[in-house]
Structure 1
Amino acid sequence: MSAYLLIVFAMLSRVAVASHHSWLNFTAIGGSLLFFGARRPLRQAVLPLIALIGLDYYMTVYVYSYPFAAQDYLITWAWYAAVIVLGHLLLRDRRSVARVGAGVILSSTTFFLATNFAAWAVLRGIYPHSFSGLMTAYAAGLPFYRNDLLSTTLVAGLAFGLPALVEHFRANEISAHRAA
């Protein structure tokens, strides 16, 4: 249940960020997808994917007042699914600080690389179609990458860390009780 609640929180964080542009992509999406992949069977991934696709539609049409074109979101939607699978493969059976850190870095970095490449390739007139233009697109995305990396670290750290701390203290309490 906590994995589903974290997805809902992530969606709400995305709506909240839309009204505060200075947050520059500080949302709970990446961390919640990693956590969902680690905690739920992959067959259940369809539910958060449908919810996030619906949210993309809502944000595009009703918040930003842009026309919606599904092809503009295919990379993002593939990334959503890939991060759930990453969480499943990397964190389902074994969790550690290193594994969570690797998941955070991989999820945030792949989103940065894929979406800025797509912006460079698709948005005509914004970035020249040259190596310099590609580097300009990546440079423009750096503030978003930084905040996505920070927010994914925070959310994944709390989502995986709080249960680990509770388990650690519970095990210490049981050990102390047995020794007494």
Structure 2
Amino acid sequence: MSAYLALIVAVLSRILPSAFHSTGIGFTAVGGGLLFFGARRSRWQAIPAVIAMMATDYYLTTFVYNYPFQMREYAVTWIWYAAICLFGHQFLAGKPSAWRVAGAVLVSSTSFFLLSNLMVWATGTMYPHTAAGLGACYVAGIPFYANDAMSTALTAGAFFGLPALARHIACSVQEAHSQRVA
């Protein structure tokens, strides 16, 4: 159940800023939410997570930004959604450590930065299709990368850390209670 809650938070983190006519601060729970969802659900359940993110892309593009929706422009992003879910399943299922979560956050944010900027450069007209243009595209994306890395770290830390903290507190309370009884 908590995996689906993380998915809902990821979707809402993209929709709510536009609902309140706010540009936001570039916060999104997508990376952390997909890593957590993948770690807690089976590989096949990545499908509903990707569909939820696809629907969010469609909604934002057509209804919020008023652009025509063209699936080919999102194909790489949708593959990334699935890859991050599957990566979360492979790398973080079971009992993830803080180091593994930190590594997954780094992989998630960095892969999205590299892939999304490459696609902006390769398919767009904003940057010349030269090595210098590619470099300029990556440099322009650095502030977005920083925001994504911070929000992914924050959300993944909360999604993975809060249940671990709750278990730790419950064990401490139980241990203290059994020492009083004994």
Aligned to 2:137: 137
Q: CA deviation at 1:173?
A: 2.1
Return the letter of the residue paired with 2:93.
R
Distance, in Å, in 2 between the alignment partners of 1:158 and 1:94 is: 15
Q: CA deviation at 1:21?
A: 2.1
Aligned to 2:172: 172
Aligned to 1:123: 124
1:1-180 aligned at under 5 Å gives the runs 1-18=1-18, 19-24=21-26, 26-124=27-125, 126-180=126-180
Q: Which moved more, 1:129-138 or 1:107-116?
A: 129-138
Give 3-state SS (helix, strand or coil) of 1:173's partner: helix
Native 8 Å contact 1:60 1:68 kept in 2: yes
**TM-score normalised according to structure 2 size:** 0.93
Distance, in Å, in 2 between the alignment partners of 1:32 and 1:45 is: 12
Deviations 1:113-149 (A, max 9, x none): 000001011102x111111111110111111111111
Distance, in Å, in 1 between the alignment partners of 2:24 and 2:41 is: 33
Return the letter of the residue paired with 1:20.
S
Return the letter of the residue paired with 1:145.
Y
**Equivalences, count:** 178
Distance, in Å, in 2 between the alignment partners of 1:175 and 1:21 is: 48
Q: Which moved more, 1:2-11 or 1:102-111?
A: 2-11
State the Cα RMSD in Å: 1.2
Q: CA deviation at 1:6?
A: 1.5
Distance, in Å, in 1 between the alignment partners of 2:152 and 2:79 is: 18
Native 8 Å contact 1:30 1:107 kept in 2: yes
Give 3-state SS (helix, strand or coil) of 1:23's partner: coil
Distance, in Å, in 1 between the alignment partners of 2:25 and 2:17 is: 6
Distance, in Å, in 1 between the alignment partners of 2:66 and 2:8 is: 23
Give 3-state SS (helix, strand or coil) of 1:129's partner: coil
Distance, in Å, in 2 between the alignment partners of 1:118 and 1:43 is: 27
Q: CA deviation at 1:94?
A: 2.8
| Percent of paired sites with the same residue | 48
Gaps of 5+ in 1: none
Distance, in Å, in 2 between the alignment partners of 1:48 and 1:115 is: 19
**TM-score normalised according to structure 1 size:** 0.94
Deviations 1:14-58 (A, max 9, x none): 01234322523x111111000000111111111111111111111
Gaps of 5+ in 2: none
